[in-house]
Amino acid sequence: MSEVTRLLTAIDRGEGRALDELLPAVYQELRQLAAQKLSREKPGQTLQATALVHEAYIRLVGPEAQNWSSRTHFFAAAAEAMRRILIENARRKHRLKRGISQQKVDLDEALVAIDSPCENIIALDEALMRLAEEEPVIANLVKLRFFGGLTLEQAGEILGISRRTATRHWTFAKAWLYEQLAKDD
């Protein structure tokens, strides 16, 4: 059992000391995850990796009880928290820049590419919400891969699907999102 999994289990049992030990144990990995997410943002991004980590951590260990089954589950939850923060930040910026037309977002062969203005993050999030209505497992796979930085194997493990199914879902998701984002353009 990894140190993080041990701490998560202790937190689940109500050991307050474990919560104090969790941030130092996961901080560097969360910072790397945040830096990876922010590297896809438009140059001049005002949100820093440290601030993103702290905000995500506060949301993860907030007043609502959490039950993470493993280290991977915790980092998937962290990736989702970071995704929500980035989308909220993009929406806030978009409100400030009303009148700017949305730009087309293309999907590359491996990941959904967000390397342009914040409007694209909003368009992607809206498309993911539509996908989640039709195919929630596939939408979660995209979130884990793109926002969580997880491999197909890791995302499949969290979702309880095989590597082959994850690959099939990923292929479908890329095509579906491309079609949706092209319609929105």
DSSP characters for 46-96?
Answer: ---HHHHHHHHHHHHTSSS-----SHHHHHHHHHHHHHHHHHHHHHHHHHH
Q: Which residues of 79-104 are buried (b: 16+ CB within 10 A; e: fewer)?
A: bbbbbebbbebbeebbeeeeeeeeee
Q: How far apart are CA 117 and CA 124, in angstroms?
A: 12
Q: Which pLDDT tens digits describe the chain residue by residue (185 residues)? A: 578 888 888 887 878 788 788 888 888 888 888 887 777 666 656 677 788 888 888 888 776 656 777 788 888 888 888 888 888 887 877 766 554 444 544 444 334 444 444 567 778 888 889 999 999 999 999 988 877 778 888 889 888 999 999 999 999 999 998 888 887 66
The domain segmentation of the chain, as residue ranges, is: 3-184
